[in-house]
Structure 1
Amino acid sequence: MEKAKISGYQLFVLVTLFEMGSAILFGLGAEAKQDAWIAVLLGLIMGLVLFLVYHRLFLFYPEITFTMYVQRITGNRIGSVIGFLYIVYFIYQASRILRDFGELLVTTIYTSTPLFIINCLMILTIIYAIHKGVEVIARVGELFFIIIYFVAIIGSFLIVLSGLIHLSNLRPLLENGWIPVLNIVGRQTIYFPFGEMVVFTMLLPYLDDQKKARKICMGGIILSGINIIITVVVNIAVLGVELMVRTPFPLLSTVGRIQIADFIERLDVLFMLYLVIGGFFKITLYFYAAVSGTAELFQLKSYQKLSFPIGVIILFTSITVASNYSEHIKEGAEIIPLYIHLPFQIIIPVMLLFIAYIRNKLICLNFSVK
């Protein structure tokens, strides 16, 4: 493990930025139409329950990361295989998110620039951040957290001032009952973004006051969840259900409609900064988890040497993961949740917690007998 420590506030910032990341980029829960915000709220609640599983695992082994204590729980051979699979999972997730934000930039601003160039520039920046370590990443997060909230507050004020909010778009409530909403929760919002907190099993040991880990992380999850819910509500109220479902990037369409006195307009470029910052931190934390996990699994003295080769893997995977953006979105909606998120975010951690609980009970029992 890297010899580093981060404060409680820094961890809170990283959790919030990570969770919001790409979640505010898309129309989260859009298939539930005007009830999308309810699907996000239920996903938030389920995400908090999932985090309690991750936190309980952390309490059994507070000084080491997930890829290390999984070997203690299941044995070296099986644990090494599981740890390696999680490293692949982190790399794959970083690649998909890099593709998301590359597509965003290519579609909206850099329309004549190849996707590879955009992704290459972003991954080089992230490699530099990874090389500097988790403490530097956390300090940069503190700075950008203030900038993001300043931009968000100004944007919310301008949207209201522009008279774009139409609360009638949020009605009727639960028009088709609970089934469509629960379907979206089970297929999307429980995994994305809230189940992605599994990546913090690689970061919690760096917290300087580990007794506050649960409160800090759950606070960050709740704050980011509220922000996402507000974003979804605003998108529906401004765009309407039909347009929000068809728009690939609803928040940008919402911000693009701001127009005050024929003077304040075209602010979507400003909010691109907000979205790119969120994407940067989400990719960086997945990247860091993959790099540090690889170094621990293969017992390397320094993880920095791995940042460039793994960065190249992430870059080329982001380009080859799908032939086009439509295929990329379809994979993310239909294949990834069931075959990747479900086992890595829910099934494996729950099984590991059960095994760890039994092992620790047996150890305590043997100790008391002796």
Structure 2
Amino acid sequence: MEKAKISAYQLFTLILLFEFGTAMLTSIGINAKQDAWLAILIGMAGGFCLFFIYYGLYRYYPDLPLTEYVQRLLGSVLGKGLAFCYVLYFMYVAARILRIFGEMLVTVAYPDTPLFIINALFILVIIYMVYKGIEVISRTSEVLFVGMCLLLLSGFLLLMISGIIHLENLKPVLEEGLSPIIKTVFTDTLYYPFGEVIVFTMIFPYINEREKVKRTGLRAMGLSGLLLALVVAGNISVLGLDLASHAQFPLLASIRSIEVAGFLERLDIYFILFAMIGGFLKISIFFYVAVMGASHLFHVKHPSHLAYPMGMVILLLSMAIASNYAEHIQEAGKFIPLYAHLPLQVIIPVLLLIIAFFKNRKKAI
């Protein structure tokens, strides 16, 4: 492992900004219609359960990342195979987020710039930060956290002042009962973004205040879930359900609706800054844990040497995963939750925790 340590506060900022990531920009939970905010809150509760599973594994192996202790639990051959699957998973999700970020900038700010150029420039900056290590990523998150808080507070204040929030758009609550909400939770909000916290099983060993890991993680997830629910409810109340569900970037449409005193309007920069902060940190974390996982798996003495080649792979993958943004979103909704998120975020960690329990019970005996 990299010889580095991060504080509990840095872990808090990492998880919070990671959870925001791209979830704040997309139509998360919108299949539950005007109850999308409720689907996010229930997904957050499920995310707490997943976090306890990840934390339980960390308690058994506090000095090892996920890609290391799977080999102890499952043996060399099967363990290395599963570790390699997780490395591929982390790289794939990083590529998907990079694609979303690039598509957003092309749509909002740079319509005449090729998508590849935008993604390439962004990944180069991330490669440099990953090369520097987890301590640099953590310190960067502290600075970005302050910026995100200022953006959220000022943005919410502008929405209130502009008078475009219509709470009646959130009614009727539970119009079709709990069934569509539960379905949305188990196909969307449980895995994205809350289940993605599995990446922190690679980062927990760096925490220098181990007794604060559980409390810090739950607080960060809880606050991020509440804020995401508030953002989604705000989008629906401003835009209405029909526009919020069909908008490519609902938050952007909401921000563009702001008009204060006849001159303060077209605040697209808010949306761009949200995307820059969330996307930058989320890709960096996924990319970093992929690099560390690969270095453990292939016994690379200097993990930073893998940053450049793996960064290029992520860049090329971000261009190859879909021919257009609509196809990209469709794939995210139909295939990724069932074939990637469910097994790697839920099923396998549960099985690993059961195996760890019995193995460590035998040692105790």
TM class, shorter-length: over 0.9
SS in 1 for 2:112: coil
> Which residue number in structure 2 is paired with residue 144 of structure 1?
144
AA paired with 1:96?
R
Say if 2:292 is the partner of 1:292.
yes
> Which residue number in structure 1 is paired with residue 45 of structure 2?
45
What CA distance in whole angstroms lies between the structure 2 residues aligned with 1:29 and 1:65?
31
- Which TM-score applies when normalising by structure 1? 0.98
Q: CA deviation at 1:190?
A: 0.4
Q: CA deviation at 1:11?
A: 0.4
- Which TM-score applies when normalising by structure 2? 0.99
SS in 2 for 1:85: helix
Q: CA deviation at 1:280?
A: 0.4
Q: CA deviation at 1:207?
A: 0.3
Q: Check the 8 A contact 2:196/2:345 in 1, yes or no.
A: yes
| 1:313-362, Cα deviation, whole Å (9 max, x unpaired) | 00000000011111100000010000110000001100000111111111
Say if 2:179 is the partner of 1:174.
no
Q: Check the 8 A contact 1:17/1:278 in 2, yes or no.
A: yes
What CA distance in whole angstroms lies between the structure 2 residues aligned with 1:41 and 1:151?
22
Q: CA deviation at 1:276?
A: 1.3
Moved more, 262-271 or 194-203: 262-271
What CA distance in whole angstroms lies between the structure 1 residues aligned with 2:53 and 2:259?
46
Q: CA deviation at 1:46?
A: 0.1
Q: CA deviation at 1:271?
A: 2.6
Moved more, 271-280 or 242-251: 271-280
What CA distance in whole angstroms lies between the structure 1 residues aligned with 2:313 and 2:68?
23
> Which residue number in structure 1 is paired with residue 234 of structure 2?
234
AA paired with 2:331?
E
Moved more, 282-291 or 70-79: 70-79
What CA distance in whole angstroms lies between the structure 1 residues aligned with 2:255 and 2:148?
15
Q: Check the 8 A contact 1:25/1:251 in 2, yes or no.
A: yes
What CA distance in whole angstroms lies between the structure 2 residues aligned with 1:333 and 1:119?
23
> Which residue number in structure 1 is paired with residue 91 of structure 2?
91
| 1:140-190, Cα deviation, whole Å (9 max, x unpaired) | 110110011101100100001000100000000111111111110010000
SS in 2 for 1:45: helix
Say if 2:101 is the partner of 1:101.
yes
AA paired with 1:6?
I
**Superposition pairs of residues 151-230 of structure 1, within 5 angstroms:** 151-230=151-230
> Which residue number in structure 1 is paired with residue 257 of structure 2?
257
> Which residue number in structure 2 is paired with residue 368 of structure 1?
none
Q: CA deviation at 1:248?
A: 1.1
What CA distance in whole angstroms lies between the structure 1 residues aligned with 2:151 and 2:19?
18
> Which residue number in structure 1 is paired with residue 270 of structure 2?
270
Give the total of aligned pairs: 365
> Which residue number in structure 2 is paired with residue 356 of structure 1?
356
The answer for unaligned runs of 5 or more in structure 1 is 366-370
Q: CA deviation at 1:270?
A: 2.9
Q: Check the 8 A contact 1:151/1:271 in 2, yes or no.
A: no
Q: CA deviation at 1:72?
A: 0.7
Q: Check the 8 A contact 2:255/2:270 in 1, yes or no.
A: no
Q: CA deviation at 1:364?
A: 1.7
What CA distance in whole angstroms lies between the structure 2 residues aligned with 1:245 and 1:151?
24
What CA distance in whole angstroms lies between the structure 2 residues aligned with 1:194 and 1:136?
24
AA paired with 1:102?
G
AA paired with 1:322?
A
**Superposition pairs of residues 110-129 of structure 1, within 5 angstroms:** 110-129=110-129
The alignment-based identity, stated in percent, is 48
AA paired with 1:157?
L
**Superposition pairs of residues 317-356 of structure 1, within 5 angstroms:** 317-356=317-356
AA paired with 1:214?
K
What CA distance in whole angstroms lies between the structure 2 residues aligned with 1:81 and 1:214?
29
What CA distance in whole angstroms lies between the structure 1 residues aligned with 2:30 and 2:75?
43
Q: Check the 8 A contact 1:11/1:216 in 2, yes or no.
A: yes
Q: CA deviation at 1:274?
A: 1.8
The answer for unaligned runs of 5 or more in structure 2 is none
What CA distance in whole angstroms lies between the structure 1 residues aligned with 2:263 and 2:322?
41
AA paired with 2:78?
I
SS in 2 for 1:332: helix
What CA distance in whole angstroms lies between the structure 2 residues aligned with 1:360 and 1:30?
43
AA paired with 1:255?
I
Q: Check the 8 A contact 2:130/2:307 in 1, yes or no.
A: yes
Over 6 Å off, 4+ runs: none
What CA distance in whole angstroms lies between the structure 1 residues aligned with 2:13 and 2:230?
19
What CA distance in whole angstroms lies between the structure 1 residues aligned with 2:127 and 2:342?
29
AA paired with 1:289?
V
SS in 2 for 1:186: helix
AA paired with 1:190?
L
Q: CA deviation at 1:230?
A: 0.6
> Which residue number in structure 2 is paired with residue 6 of structure 1?
6
SS in 1 for 2:335: helix
What CA distance in whole angstroms lies between the structure 1 residues aligned with 2:325 and 2:197?
25
Q: Check the 8 A contact 1:50/1:346 in 2, yes or no.
A: yes
